[in-house]
Amino acid sequence: MERPQSAADFVPADFDRAIEPGQLYIPALNVNTRILSLPTTMEPDPFLGGQVVSSFGVPPDLAQTAWWADGPALGGPGMAVITGHSSGTSEQAVFNRLVDLKPGDVILAESPDGAIRIRYAVIQVVKGISKSDPSALQTTLSTHPDNARLALLTCDGPVDGDIGESPDNTVVFASRS
């Protein structure tokens, strides 16, 4: 099956029909990338003095995304979470321009075989979620808009030279459309 070139190319899926993750398309950002399935991990957080905290699995490279496999499934009930990198430099990363999304922009998730595509529409972009506040991201995700069924998550802001990471997160919430 051909990959969608625009939002008009999507094949509707039944609402609340979960799919295995395969491919993610964000036409407004020219994103066309694989979605991996990754569980929760335990990692030291450099913004919290190296304290080990639970974290969403993040893709092993800058070009792919990862669905949080311990959370709601794509297309099913609840809000699925997909993570991806932004580089904070000139290096290409899948979510470098995530902050540029606007309400109404289309996000498409596709099953591995391309048989089912789920269409989402951006409803809110939340920037500047501090990594120094251990509850900031959790609070943002748990107080999501009622109709949010997808959250795209990435780092944001200039890279802290001492830590080698961006100090903030950005979350894009989307509803089924």
pLDDT one-digit tens code per residue, 71-87: 999 999 999 999 999 97
Sign of CA dihedral 84, 74, 5, 26: negative
Confidence of residue 108 (pLDDT cuts 50, 70, 90): very high
User: What pLDDT shows up at residue 4?
Assistant: 39
Backbone φ and ψ of 107, nearest 5°? -130, 130
Q: Predicted confidence band at 36 (pLDDT cuts at 50, 70, 90)?
A: very high
C-alpha 80/C-alpha 97 separation (Å) is 20
User: Going by C-beta distance under 8 Å and a sequence separation of 6 or more, which residues neighbour residue 136?
Assistant: 129, 130, 169
Domains and CATH numbers, the chain: 10-176 (2.40.260.10)
* Mean pLDDT along residues 20-27: 96
Q: Quick one: which of 93, 23, 36 has its CA closest to 63?
A: 93
pLDDT-derived band of residue 89, with 50, 70 and 90 as boundaries? low
The mean predicted confidence, pLDDT, of the chain is: 87
49-68: per-residue pLDDT in tens? Answer: 888 988 898 899 999 999 99
Residue 134 or 106, more confident: 106
Q: What is the pLDDT of residue 111?
A: 94
Which residue(s) pair with 106 in the sheet?
A: 121
